[in-house]
Amino acid sequence: MKKIPDRIKIEHPQIRDLKLGMNRIKLKAKIIEIPKSKTVFTMLGQFNTVANAKVTDETGIIQLPFVEPTNRHSCCGRYYPN
């Protein structure tokens, strides 16, 4: 059985480099579509706003979920105060 390394360091990741289970990835991509957001009720008893944005680079297209946490607005992986 192959051992999967705990952390694989990719210098400049692109969409084609993404694998299931990867987290804390800094990815440079262009947002091509942001559909209307939906309000959801979380298991913690809070309301959050969610939108699945389509992003692209020269290697592919993916959908990224953006969640608006309480009292903050999320865009492009950064948080901006309201």
For the cut 80, the answer to whether the pLDDT of residue 11 exceeds it is no
Percentage of the residues of the chain whose pLDDT score is greater than 90:
11
Cβ atoms of 73 and 79 closer than 8 Å: yes
For the cut 90, the answer to whether the pLDDT of residue 81 exceeds it is no
**pLDDT tens by residue, 28-66:** 888 898 888 888 888 888 888 888 889 999 999 999 888
Spans of all domains in the chain: 29-81
Cβ atoms of 75 and 60 closer than 8 Å: no
The secondary structure of residue 2, as a DSSP letter, is: P
Q: Give the model's pLDDT for residue 61.
A: 93
pTM: 0.58
Residue 82 corresponds to which tokens in the numbers above?
């309201």
> CA-to-CA distance for 51 and 68, rounded, in angstroms?
9
**Residue 5: pLDDT band with limits 50, 70, 90:** low
The secondary structure of residue 17, as a DSSP letter, is: G
Amino acid at 68: E
In a 10 Å sphere around its CB, with 0-12 CB exposed, 13-18 middle and 19+ buried, how is residue 74 labelled? Answer: middle
